[in-house]
């Protein structure tokens, strides 16, 4: 098996996320032993962000790092675990709201499209929106 970054690259639909991770110093962390859980927005999810916001983030490494870190939780949290918890602490320091409704799992306002993509050092859950921590929005 591969680490989380290699797994995301091999999946093919996380190019923007991988680029964002590599633009911060989180790439090395996500290649380490972990385990970590990544709530991974697809390239389509990143395409929903306005070009102005996207360019602004790429030029502000501290905001970009906070947003990427907001998608990473500690531990190996599988879909069975997500169905039983109501929050997950992130690398960024904030907490994500986890909700199971009608058999679908929501992470804040994003829906988990696919879960339990396993890697050597954790798990990836595919989500349909980019998660933005509240403090980043107001900066």
89-93 contacts at long range (C-beta below 8 A, 24 or more positions apart): 90/133, 91/26, 91/29, 91/36, 92/66, 92/67, 92/133, 93/69
Does 69 fall in a domain?
Answer: yes
Evaluate whether residue 112 is within a structural domain. Answer: yes
How far apart, in whole angstroms, are the C-alpha atoms of residue 85 and residue 94? 16
Place of tokens 């107001």: 138
Residues 107 and 127 sit within 8 Å (Cβ to Cβ):
yes
User: What domain range includes position 59?
Assistant: 4-132
pLDDT at 139: 47
Asked if residue 138 belongs to a domain, the reply is no
Q: pLDDT at position 136, please? A: 58
Into how many domains does the chain fold? 1
Quote the tokens at residue 18. Answer: 């991988």
Q: What is the CATH number of the domain that holds 94?
A: 2.30.180.10
Could you tell me if residue 79 is inside a domain?
A: yes
Distance of CA 106 to the CA centre of its chain: 13
Q: Please indicate, yes or no, if residue 139 is contained in any of the structural domains.
A: no
Tens-level pLDDT at each residue, the chain (139 residues):
899 999 999 999 999 999 999 888 899 999 999 899 999 999 999 999 888 877 777 778 888 899 999 999 999 999 999 999 999 999 999 999 999 988 899 999 999 999 999 999 999 999 999 998 876 554 4
In a domain, 104, yes or no: yes
Has residue 82 been placed in a domain?
yes
Cβ neighbours of residue 89 under 8 Å, at least 6 residues apart?
73, 74, 95, 96
68 is a domain residue: yes
């Amino acid at each position: 098996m591969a680490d989380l970054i290699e797994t995301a690259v091999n999946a093919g639909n996380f190019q923007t996320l991988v680029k964002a991770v590599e633009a911060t110093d989180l790439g090395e962390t996500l290649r380490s032993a972990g385990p970590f859980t990544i709530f991974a927005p697809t390239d389509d999810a990143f395409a929903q962000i306005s070009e102005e916001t996207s360019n602004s983030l790429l030029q502000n490494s501290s905001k970009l790092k906070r947003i990427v870190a907001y998608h990473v939780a500690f531990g190996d949290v599988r879909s069975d675990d997500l169905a039983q918890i109501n929050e997950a602490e992130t690398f960024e320091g904030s907490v994500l709201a986890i909700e199971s409704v009608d058999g679908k799992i929501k992470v804040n306002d994003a829906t988990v499209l696919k879960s339990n993509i396993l890697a050597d050092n954790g798990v990836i859950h595919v989500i349909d929106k980019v998660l933005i921590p509240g403090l980043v929005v107001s900066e």
